Structure 1
Amino acid sequence: MAKISACIVAYCDYDEVCTAVRSILAHTPGPDFRLYVVDNASPDGCGEKLAGTPFGDSRVEVVRLPHNDGFGSGHNSVLDRLDSDVHFILNPDVVLEDDILDGMADWLMDHPAVVMATPQLHFPDGRIQHLPRRKPRITAMAVRQFPALVEKVGFFRRINERYTMQDEDLTQPQPIEFCTGSFMAVRTDVFRKVGGFDRDYFMYVEDADLTQRVLCYGKVYLLPQFTAIHAWHRDPVRDKRKFWMQVRSMVLFFKKWGFGSSPVPNNP
């Protein structure tokens, strides 16, 4: 059985973080499992509360950072502590209902050409989230900033459906070009080789960037036989400050990777 680790980066929302942590611990029985909960200097006291919360499980470790340097930097802060085969990058709004971490890690170990994977995520009401994607193109990412238009205008809807691979059979394991940062399983040695997340991204699109770099070492897959719940708050749609934060990250991505649709060639 693969040795696994996981990390959640928290910023406020203490109750939601605790729900995620307890679901992960409850559904991941391995004694060698290690769960890191990194607080990104939450201004509401979340980090202090987490540090004082008796989760009743020695496998969880709370790390309090003095500054908020972004989502990716929070995850990178535990990179030197990892001694696992497979590491999971998880959002604090994810809830497990089964032991899928062990299952996904074992699947990765059984498929040496695959270096990263994501499960099929669902909204709390059971609806499927269309998160597996092709490599970002500027038209698709721009269209997705206006979900009302995607829903009502056929041209925009078709762009979004192609970007989110809805023209493929996603009921079977499928190679993808963009793995969502809300739930990633990555080979720990590869995560180290690429240096973790690019710190130039404060938040948003850093998962697309990481996927492109990981693709240099092998394939990235959707594994729909494994499922989890993801609240997916989609803050940039409602928050202007976060919207412009996402725009900045998109500019960084396209400056780095260009505007083409072809994925980075595999070089395992």
Structure 2
Amino acid sequence: MAKISACIVAYCNYDEVCAAVRSILRHTPSPTLALYVVDNGSPDGCGRQLAGTDFGDPRVTVLPLPENLGFGKGHNAVLDRLDSDVHFILNPDILLTGNVLEPMADWLLATPDAVLATPQLYFPDGRLQALPRRKPTPWLLLARQLAPRFGGIFQKADDHYTMQDEDLTRPRRIEFCTGSFMAARTNVLKRIGGFDPDYFMYVEDADLTQRFLREGEVWLAPQFSAIHAWHRAPMRDAGKFRMQLASMGLYFKKWGCGKGAL
């Protein structure tokens, strides 16, 4: 049985974070689980509340940070503590409905050359989320933002980006693993140094995927699933949209604008 760890980076929304933590504990019987909850200096007191919460399980460690370091740095805060075989990077809006982490970790370790994987994620109402993606290009990321409003050519490009022209009901290799739910070989994650700290938020998961692809293969494993609320609002928030543009610029400067292999 694989030794597993997991990390949730929280920023406000105490109730949602607690729901995620409790779902993981409820559905992960493994005594080897080490679950880290990192609070990114939440201004609403979420970190203080989490630190004072008795989850009734010694497998949980709460790490309140004094300031908001960003998504990637928040996750990197636990790197030196990890001694697992597989580490899960999870959003605070993830809910497990069954024992997913243990069998997914075993599957990852048993799959030759696989170093990173994501399960199939669903909205709370049961709708499928189109999260497995091809390698980003400027055009595909633009289409991703414009498709819901304008459709047409943008929707066609977004469907290609999210691999709607492929069979996603079976395990397959992908080029972009969502940071909402990642299963990573811990030794590889530590070897590459976790997330690039130059990203504060957005596109850091695409960057991490490209670095994992230098080490092995990245997979969609749809035989495993979880619920993901998916709070996606960069187009509705000017500040977040500017932050997303800055991260996109950093990504393309680093990795180029060419097409992926799939």
Alignment TM-score > 0.5, same fold: yes
Which residue does 1:174 correspond to in 2? Answer: 172
Which residue does 2:31 correspond to in 1? Answer: 31
Which digits, 9 at most, give the CA deviation of each residue in 1:9-61, with x for residues without a partner? 00000000000000001000011100000000000000000000110000000
**Normalising by structure 1, what TM-score?**
0.96
Q: Does 1:85 align with 2:85?
A: yes
- 8 A contact 1:134–1:176 mirrored in 2: yes
Among 157, 163, 166, the alignment partner of 1:165 is 163
Q: Which amino acid aligns with 2:136?
A: P
Q: Which amino acid aligns with 2:251?
A: F
Aligned residues: 262
Which digits, 9 at most, give the CA deviation of each residue in 1:70-92, with x for residues without a partner? 10000000000000000000000
- 8 A contact 1:4–1:105 mirrored in 2: yes
- Cα distance between partner residues in 1 of 2:15 and 2:238: 25
**SS of the counterpart of 1:74?**
helix
Which digits, 9 at most, give the CA deviation of each residue in 1:65-114, with x for residues without a partner? 11211100000000000000000000000000011100110001111310
- 8 A contact 1:197–1:206 mirrored in 2: yes
**Normalising by structure 2, what TM-score?**
0.98
Counterparts of residues 1-268 of structure 1 (less than 5 Å): 1-149=1-149, 152-263=150-261
- 8 A contact 2:146–2:154 mirrored in 1: no
- Cα distance between partner residues in 1 of 2:146 and 2:180: 21
**SS of the counterpart of 1:192?**
helix
- 8 A contact 2:147–2:154 mirrored in 1: no
- 8 A contact 1:86–1:188 mirrored in 2: yes
Contiguous gaps of at least 5 residues in structure 1: none
Q: Which amino acid aligns with 2:155?
A: R
Q: Percent identity?
A: 67
- Deviating 4+ runs (over 4 angstroms): none
CA RMSD of aligned residues (A): 1.1
Contiguous gaps of at least 5 residues in structure 2: none
